[in-house]
Structure 1
């Protein structure tokens, strides 16, 4: 069967094919689970420094140097900025699954360097590499999940990325509980991240490529094989027709960076940017990175445990929002959320 493979533009809402509804012999959940290892690593690398900072600073001789401690924390974000800008391009060039495998390299090496660091320079390099890795993950995890998910569960799976980021943060905070009895445990905390990095690379060997990416590259046979795995063989023709229709229907020209500031897009862009800005101004990143230090300064004896409770609240909030999103609407939940902040 011949299909038209030309597809212009990258708007997920417009071009992701509508995977068929109803019962099928395929299943996307195992592959979503593999992809979410990237989200877990994102959250874990964000939160791991929270409980470990005091102990690693003491071991690396920077206990009195708050500037270098700040570099240990913020270098991750510098790397994430680079990774987030390159993740999409890598995914388009090499495919989604191959990019996940490439992403596992800086994630694993970065975690290993942090775990074995004997100097602050090595720690910063490790954090930079881990940051590049989580930046790439932030771009390709939601992309891959969206492109392989059936329509009837795409909304629910769309929030899975954020949920697993929160779970990763919680895991990092819980991993810090043994620190009070074992000051060298911080090395194990960083080393733990090597395991899901390796599992991500291995898991993607057995995961199907995005049918949409394969279709765009004219790899029709491979696209049909991926659809068979994800949706079942009885849905292959239907999904291929949806891919063809979605690509042919997306005829708007691509939008450049400067076009985002035009009158046509300004309102949407400003609202979206403001939502992220207000979230950051609420101080959530300070909580993720420094809550253990804050609780310790406040005289709370179980400072790491208190931070773990904060992480638990974060996971619960995300879970509640995910379950109410379709019933209550996005706007009302945002108003409640910002009211709480």
Structure 2
């Protein structure tokens, strides 16, 4: 890339900027993180809604009959909810989010991070209202597609916004605010499902309430300041400096402001960021932005998040018990994410990834064994009260492991590793891959449960093993590394250093101990 030397020169002194934690930063990051409420609310709401009899009777009568036959023992327990149209209701959102994330990349770069957040909230608002007032399946699916566009735009812009606003020493914690809001959204959705389950039109309330956080995000985003990086990209230098001073809590930002200008001037020479990120020297970023979101979904977490009530009903929990179990797992999700927020910048990313992977592996094996011993291949059997409680406890341990590791870190790490010139493309790849595998899991899980039965949990355990080995070998620690100085991480890694130009490695390593003259 032309101008690469200038890029290296101006990231050297970044460790020596004043990085205060200001109220402005905290408030801005809190408001932006509300974009996660939209994603979380949808993750939590669909499983409960699709377990409600009035919803099934109105839109999926064949599934309703299937479920009743299963309860009477006329259908295999594993296959009660296996219906492609029903899974399309859940998965269509994530296919739309995948497509939207590709457009959102350019919107985020050209119009700014806050504009993308506003558009995401607007799409979600209209989609939630369509779902709440739906009178047929077509209206339902169109609403889901609009929800998907909202999720795609928010998931593209919010992590980038948080990473660019946060000081390096608390970047992990503030970026995890996005995942925190996702877990809160899931919990709220589970609780609303529990309260509305017995109401004839409870499903309308559950789906329609999603408009509330969307409206909140739309209004709040109008009052947000964009990131200095984004403003300089768009030539708003004066306003960018004012925002930078607010972020740092000091008027002495001339050095950092000039460095940002120089960095962005170099980034502007990259006309095609999508093509640029495929270059040899960006191989670490491209690989991690592709594989981390892939592995995040292959943990099997969305089996719990999407279909918790259906899964619990399949395994013999009653209707109310299955919805309450979903509330319990949602609560565990929130608590464990809080633990992650307070530990990620202290202990680092790698140790949380590794511990979470080992714990998830043990939980998947345990769940698979319990279901195998009780239901067998034919799917005949049920859990006693004590066994059901033990199963729920193990699932909660699985959710906790995910919530303090792959859940928040799956969004944090890809958003912080890309240099500015390919950041929008890297985040778009992250969101697109995440949405593709979210769509795939949502679409095929009920069918896979029907065909693979308890063996499905052993498959997920095998995938967790692969991803944990991947982290152990190929993920460097990024704790406390300034976002624009990430090249030094690759330069000292046993594998990735072969991709980073030698002048970048030499310059960064030479500046770890003293400021540049």
Q: Does the alignment pair 1:204 with 2:221?
A: yes
| Cα distance between partner residues in 1 of 2:282 and 2:244 | 35
Kindly state the Cα deviation for residue 42 of structure 1 after the two structures are TM-superposed: 1.1
2:346 maps to which residue?
327
Gaps of 5+ in 1: 1-5
CA 208–274 in structure 1, closer or farther in 2 if over 3 Å, else same: closer
Deviation at 1:127, TM superposition (A): 0.5
Comparing 90-99 with 229-238, greater Cα deviation is found at: 229-238
The question of whether the paired residues in 1 share the 8 Å contact of 2:110 and 2:234 is answered with no
* 3-state SS of 1:112 partner: helix
After TM superposition, the structure 1 = structure 2 runs for residues 270-281 of structure 1, keeping only pairs within 5 Å, are: 270=287, 273-281=290-298
Structure 2 SS opposite 1:54: coil
Separation in 2, partners of 1:280, 1:25: 34
Deviations 1:322-341 (A, max 9, x none): 32223333222222111122
Aligned to 1:180: 197
- Picking from 305, 330, 336, the partner of 2:355 is 336
CA deviation map 1:296-318 (0-9, x unaligned): 12222311010111122222332
Output the CA distance in 2 between the equivalents of 1:228 and 1:100: 23
Please report how far the alpha carbon of residue 82 of structure 1 lies from its aligned counterpart in structure 2 after TM superposition.
1.3
Correspondent of 2:335 among 308, 316, 322: 316
Contact 2:277 2:286 in 1 (8 A): no
Q: 1:237 aligns with which of 242, 250, 254?
A: 254
Q: CA deviation at 1:228?
A: 4.0
Cα pair distance change 1:266/1:91, threshold 3 Å: closer
1:109 aligns with 2:126: yes
- 2:231 corresponds to which residue? 214
The structural deviation recorded for 1:24 is 7.3
Question: Does the C-alpha gap of structure 1 residues 216 and 261 become closer, same or farther in structure 2, counting only changes over 3 Å?
Answer: closer
Q: What residue in structure 2 maps to residue 148 of structure 1? A: 165
CA distance in 2, matches of 1:124, 1:219: 40
Report the alpha carbon displacement of residue 265 of structure 1 after superposing the two structures with TM: 5.5
Asked if the contact 1:7–1:216 (Cα under 8 Å) also holds between the matched residues in 2, the reply is no
Q: Distance in 1 between matches of 2:274 and 2:56?
A: 48
Asked if 1:99 is matched to 2:116, the reply is: yes
Report if aligned partners of 2:166, 2:174 keep a CA contact under 8 Å in 1: yes
| 8 Å contact kept, 1:80–1:132 | yes
What RMSD, in angstroms, separates the aligned Cα atoms of the two structures?
Answer: 3.1
Greater Rg by CA: 2
Higher RCO (CA-CA < 8 Å; seq separation 6+): 1
Normalised by the size of structure 2, how large is the TM-score?
Answer: 0.58
| Alpha carbons 1:21, 1:150 under 8 Å: kept | no
1:246: how far off?
3.9
Q: Which residue does the alignment assign to 2:326? A: 307
Return the alpha-carbon distance in structure 1 between the equivalents of residues 339 and 250 of structure 2.
35
Contact kept, 8 Å, 1:19 with 1:151, in 2: the verdict is no
Assess if the C-alpha contact under 8 Å between 2:31 and 2:221 holds in 1.
yes
Q: Tell me which residue corresponds to 1:88.
A: 105
TM-aligned CA deviation for residue 131 of structure 1: 0.6
> 1:18–1:150: 8 Å Cα contact kept in structure 2?
no
Distance 1:175 1:24, change over 3 A: closer
User: Are 2:131 and 1:131 aligned?
Assistant: no
Alignment pair present for 1:33 and 2:30: yes
Q: 1:226 to 1:19 in 2, by over 3 A?
A: farther
- SS at 2:24 equivalent: coil
1:52 to 49, 57, 61: 49
Instruction: Mark the CA change 1:22 to 1:339 in structure 2 (over 3 Å): closer, same or farther.
Output: closer
Give 1:210 shift: 1.6
Alignment partners' CA distance in 1, 2:23 and 2:253: 11
Give the deviation of 1:30 after TM superposition: 1.5
Match of 2:40?
43
Q: Would you say the 8 A contact 2:25–2:165 is kept in 1? A: yes
Q: Structure 2 vs 1, CA of residues 271 and 308 (structure 1 numbering), >3 Å: closer, same or farther?
A: same
Which residue is 1:3 aligned to?
none
Q: Structure 2, unaligned stretches of length 5 or more?
A: 64-82, 361-517
Q: What SS class does the counterpart of residue 199 from structure 2 fall into?
A: coil
Aligned-pair CA distance for 1:295: 0.9
Q: Distance in 1 between matches of 2:265 and 2:215?
A: 39
The question of whether the paired residues in 1 share the 8 Å contact of 2:131 and 2:140 is answered with yes
Closer, same or farther in 2 for the Cα pair 1:126/1:142, shift >3 Å? Answer: same
Distance change in 2, residues 1:22/1:136 (3 Å): closer
| Residues 21 and 152, structure 1, Cα contact 8 Å, conserved in 2 | no
